[in-house]
Amino acid sequence: MSAFYKIAFGVLSVLMPAAFKIKKEGTENLPQGGGCLYVSNHRSNADPILIGLQNRKAQFCFLAKQELFSKGLVGWVLRKLGAVAVDRGTGDLSPLDELRSRLENGENALIFPEGTRSKDGSLGRFKTGAALIAAQSGVPVVPVGISFEGKLHFRSRITVRFGEPFQVPQTDPDNPAPAVLKQVRQEMTQRVSALLPAPPTALPMQKDASDQKGELKS
């Protein structure tokens, strides 16, 4: 773990609870140490910090879009934290190779399989990248669910839930089987979805008085 990472997260461990009302659930499921792949839904730019703060025994590496690395201080901080740049839409798999290498070296890796933030909290379709890393590396996968109402703002109530780590089927790193990747992606989706609040159920429409009278007459 780099000195910068350790100091930065030490400061953030004080600032984040002051800025938000954070509720943690399932922390007993957190593995002790590194070498695990965390997969989470994506709600805000604060998500990597919210997750990384819960396991401070190993450094987290995560993907960040390429554009952020050219933004002065933000880019400098991302590089110091060990973030991996990804150029979305190009099909470049080298960022995934870098994450897999970090996992093998004992770091934790964090991926948001949706690929982008959800504005309303609904879970989007998972992309194949996280499934590919998990099926090729064989590391334990830790599902995470992050939820809050509306847009993130000062003193928002945030819930971070951790599920039980699980293993996924392995596949040939050089020739990954599509059926295995589909199975892994589906299991990741189900496990993360189970950690999120259930969507509100629509109430049945009440009939007005005239409808009720008509039924009585018939």
| Fold of the domain built from segment(s) 3-217 | Glycerol-3-phosphate (1)-acyltransferase (3.40.1130)
199: CB partners within 8 A, 6+ apart: 122
pLDDT for residue 216: 47
Q: What is the pLDDT of residues 156-202, one digit of tens each?
A: 999 999 999 999 988 877 788 899 999 999 999 999 999 998 765 55
Contact predicate 146/41, CB 8 Å: yes
pLDDT for residue 67: 85
Q: Quote the CA–CA distance of 1 and 82 in Å, as a whole number.
A: 10
The pTM of this model reads 0.85
Contacts for 205-209: CB closer than 8 Å, 24+ residues apart = none
Q: Which residue has the tokens 């703002």?
A: 153
Q: Quote the CA–CA distance of 41 and 57 in Å, as a whole number.
A: 23
Q: What is the pLDDT of residues 97-149, one digit of tens each?
A: 888 888 888 889 999 999 888 888 899 999 988 999 999 888 999 999 999 99
pLDDT for residue 65: 84
